[in-house]
Amino acid sequence: MSVLAPELAQRARDWAADDPDPATRAALEELVGRAEDGDHAAAEELADAFRGPLVFGTAGLRGAMGPGEHRMNLAVVSRAARGIADHLRAELPTAEGADAPLVVIGHDARHGSRAFAERSAAIITAAGCRVRLLDRAGPTPVIAFAVRALGADAGIVVTASHNPAADNGYKVYLGGRLTDPAGRGVQIVPPADEQIAARIGEVGPVRDIPVADSGWSTMGDALREQYLAAITALPRPDSPREVRIVHTAMHGVGTELAIAALHRCGFTDVHPVAKQADPDPDFPTVAFPNPEEPGAIDLALEQARVVEADVVIANDPDADRCAVAVHDPHQDCWRMLTGDELGVLLGAHLIRRHGRHGVFASSIVSSRWLGEVARGTGQRSARTLTGFKWIARAPGIVFGYEEAIGYCLLPEVVRDKDGLSTALVVAEMAALAKAEGTSLVGLLDDLAREHGLFVTGQLAIRVEDLSRIDAMMRRLRERPPQELGGTAVTAMQDLAQGSVARTGLPPTEGVLLETRDDARVIVRPSGTEPKLKCYLEVREQVEPGAGEADLRVHRERAQDRLERLREEMEAVLALPS
């Protein structure tokens, strides 16, 4: 007996008839058949696959692979490619003699990525654009680089970054004639995302989309060499090179260029994690291919202990992010540096060792530590909305980072986060610290003595029903806490109301709380997952000459304060099930 609504069954059949991929077409037809035979699980899967189109926004597209309008598949990608081409043709000059839009396309090594990239090239070529397609899977920063280096009007990367193996995605950059110089090679922001989404919505049946058999060109070794030449100029030639590194690409596409870049710069004592070095779309050794996730770098840490490494460098699967682990002498164990700790280390290093002058930018949910270092050394700092699409647009930026292990060290080369250039500077910092008889943890201690100790953490509340997030935010606005961590809340700011004067930011969904003892909490919905996230930070004033015993007291007190904040915010936001 069928458990499938007739309307949904018809929508699924119509989709299958228009699906250019035999595999997803067959999978959809099988689901329909099972649901009509009474399979409730199949019916639920179909309902989710057709609960609305996969939304194109500032993150492009990202979702689970599979058949249907709410999945990543060849049909959805075909419409996206045609919509992007139509946007480019509408926005750029069409006068005689004007160059057709130039689009560069790359992809990672996930299931379907090459097919999605090739289909995009064929459709965008047929729409009258010039297309250059990367010859094989490669890191996302290479395409961000290509947009600027080649003067492309747009860049597309087929990637789901650090999402689970079942997902894929579609990231879009604008450049060339479509944006101002500061926005070239940066991920899209409004209104471009809305304009492209509208064009995608106007695309008719997939079967009617013209698809070229040829006409695009490929990019390969020459582009990779250009990129390597640009980033390997970053470490100073006179800095030490004696450092032992363990590197993991997390089953992604970062190994080749990461090792090549490190070796070219003289960092030759590098030990890749063999089981995670080659691209593998199934990510067999990790439950979640994100270096920040518990257990994700366990193999790298095990290897670090065996080879007695100085530092572990981990790239996420598309190599646009970088995580670092070190042996912490205070705890006598290996630990991951937080994204904020690495961010302040990188910023301070660029100021003091590279003489960087300009704006040091970070997102509003990142630590205030970098701003303190910048101001204390005569530099400017900037706070932006969350996401690199905003960080990279900070006027005068010379370095930018977000707490989610994303770092931009060469904004004129790659105006986005780049895990490979980050790896080079991490190696340089670690080698210099080793030569000076200290470590990255020791450098953090020095920054604490000079600018105060900042410790950050998070609380994430996952929900099944998205309305619960709205309810929690409403409750927080209506009944904000009067006290947190045993001290008064001195400021509560509704970020959705905007406060250019106070934060320099336009309206964004979130609430900011500040306490008398200089703790800060920002509560906002996740932009990519069904979560409400609390970003927590405490600050401890440290005497400039503080010894190890004093620092230990400050660290322990900061951790206690952070844990208390976490527990109290969980209680503040708690809602009945």
Per-residue pLDDT tens for 177-188? 999 988 999 999
Q: What is the C-alpha separation between 62 and 100, in angstroms, rounded? A: 28
**Are 424 and 555 part of one and the same domain?**
no
CA atoms within 13 A on the CB side of 304: 24
Flag whether pLDDT at 500 surpasses 60.
no
- pLDDT given at position 577: 52
User: What's the sign of the alpha-carbon dihedral 251, 255, 257, 261?
Assistant: positive
The answer to whether residue 32 sits within a structural domain is no
The answer to whether residue 510 sits within a structural domain is yes
Query: What's the average model confidence in pLDDT over 149-166?
Result: 96
- pLDDT given at position 529: 73
Report residue 503's pLDDT band, with 50, 70 and 90 as the boundaries: low
Domain with residue 480: its CATH number is 3.30.310.50
Query: What's the average model confidence in pLDDT over 545-573?
Result: 94
Write the pLDDT tens digit of every residue in 87-139. Answer: 999 999 876 667 999 999 999 999 999 999 999 999 999 999 999 999 999 99
Q: Say which DSSP state 281 is in.
A: T
Report residue 203's pLDDT band, with 50, 70 and 90 as the boundaries: very high
**Are 320 and 371 part of one and the same domain?**
yes
Q: How many domains does the chain have?
A: 3
Catalytic residue numbers, as ranges = 161
Report residue 526's pLDDT band, with 50, 70 and 90 as the boundaries: confident
Question: Which of 76-80, 403-407, 541-545 has the least mean pLDDT?
Answer: 541-545
Domain with residue 372: its CATH number is 3.40.120.10
Flag whether pLDDT at 502 surpasses 70.
no
16 φ/ψ angles, rounded to the nearest 5 degrees: -60, -40
Last residue of a domain, one of 409, 437, 465: 437
**Rg value, the chain, Cα:** 24
CA 88 to chain centre: 25
**Are 380 and 500 part of one and the same domain?**
no
Q: How many residues does the chain have?
A: 577
**Are 57 and 175 part of one and the same domain?**
yes
Write the pLDDT tens digit of every residue in 189-200. Answer: 999 999 999 999
Give the residue among 223, 264, 218, 259 at the shortest CA–CA distance from 241.
264
Query: What's the average model confidence in pLDDT over 551-576?
Result: 92
Query: What's the average model confidence in pLDDT over 500-524?
Result: 86
3-state helix, strand, coil in the chain (%, to 5): 40, 20, 40
SS3 string, 361-426, reads EEECCCCCHHHHHHHHCCCEEEEECCCHHHHCCCCCEEEEEECCCEEECCCCCCCCCCHHHHHHHH
Flag whether pLDDT at 547 surpasses 60.
yes
Range of the domain at 555: 452-573
pTM more than 0.85: yes
**Are 176 and 314 part of one and the same domain?**
no
Report residue 505's pLDDT band, with 50, 70 and 90 as the boundaries: confident
Question: Which of 54-63, 144-153, 382-391 has the least mean pLDDT?
Answer: 54-63
Last residue of a domain, one of 410, 437, 464: 437
Write the pLDDT tens digit of every residue in 288-304. Answer: 899 999 999 999 999 99
Report residue 530's pLDDT band, with 50, 70 and 90 as the boundaries: confident
Flag whether pLDDT at 59 surpasses 80.
no
Query: What's the average model confidence in pLDDT over 413-421?
Result: 98
Write the pLDDT tens digit of every residue in 448-483. Answer: 999 999 999 999 998 888 889 999 999 999 999 999
3-state secondary structure of 119: helix
- pLDDT given at position 574: 83
The answer to whether residue 334 sits within a structural domain is yes
> What residues contact residue 32 under an 8 Å CB cut-off, 6+ apart?
4, 9, 12, 13, 16, 42, 46
- pLDDT given at position 412: 96
The answer to whether residue 187 sits within a structural domain is yes
The answer to whether residue 23 sits within a structural domain is no
Last residue of a domain, one of 149, 183, 206: 206
Give the residue among 346, 357, 411, 352 at the shortest CA–CA distance from 379.
357
> Greater confidence, 131 or 38?
131
Cis amide bond preceding 191, omega within 30: yes
**Are 322 and 405 part of one and the same domain?**
yes
The answer to whether residue 442 sits within a structural domain is no
**Are 429 and 470 part of one and the same domain?**
no
The answer to whether residue 232 sits within a structural domain is no
> Greater confidence, 498 or 268?
268
Quote the tokens at residue 375.
Answer: 């101001």
